[in-house]
Amino acid sequence: MPERIQDRLHQIEARINQPEFMKSGGAANEINYYIFDYDPQDELAVRGYVDELAGRYQAGSGPFSVTVFDLFEVLLRFLKENDYLEMTYDFENRRGLGYATDAIVKALGLSQNNQLVKHIVQNTPPNTVVFLTGVGKCYPVLRSHNIINNLQQAMDTVPVVLF
């Protein structure tokens, strides 16, 4: 019988409070990356619990904080700030989702100079646990394995949990 989502969510807090959670590990002493997978029907429960945890672990309230980045919101903000949003809609309407996705990937520099990763790195304080949410909302533009690969190269001092 599958575990209830509430039971799994409550395990997150216990895990992030373990001393070894904040330490680097593995053969190359890399920082820890975790993926919390869940059924899409549990999205609202997961979102609510992540917000609750982030509120309890604000900067200055304990030995570490929780910083949340909703990847969809970061992506949307980037497109708006660079006047790409309307262009993206136009690309999708005229040439299809694949073309629009390729254009967004190029604009974000997801293959080389990753603007999304830069934003996360620049806005991550020390002694924090990064929660990356909205991964599913960004599909097919962003894929979780690409995010992890790019983050590992740029950010190696804080643990990251993908939701």
Q: Where are the domains of the chain?
A: 1-16+44-64
Q: Which residue has the tokens 């996360």?
A: 120
CA separation (Å) from 93 to 58, 78, 97, 131?
42, 20, 8, 33
- Which range has the worst mean pLDDT, 66-70, 76-80, 87-91, 114-118? 114-118
The mean predicted confidence, pLDDT, of the chain is 88
**CA 89 to CA 53: how far, in whole Å?**
35
The strand pairing partners of 67, in sequence order, are: 130
Q: Mean pLDDT over residues 128-143, rounded?
A: 91
pLDDT grade, residue 88 (50/70/90)? very high
Distance CA(153)–CA(119), nearest Å, equals 14
pLDDT in tens, 146-159: 888 888 888 878 99
Q: What is the pLDDT of residue 150?
A: 84
Q: Where is pLDDT greater, at 15 or 151?
A: 15
Among candidates 58, 36, 38, 74, which has minimal Cα distance to 129? 58
Q: What is the pLDDT of residue 30?
A: 63
State mean pLDDT over 36-49.
95
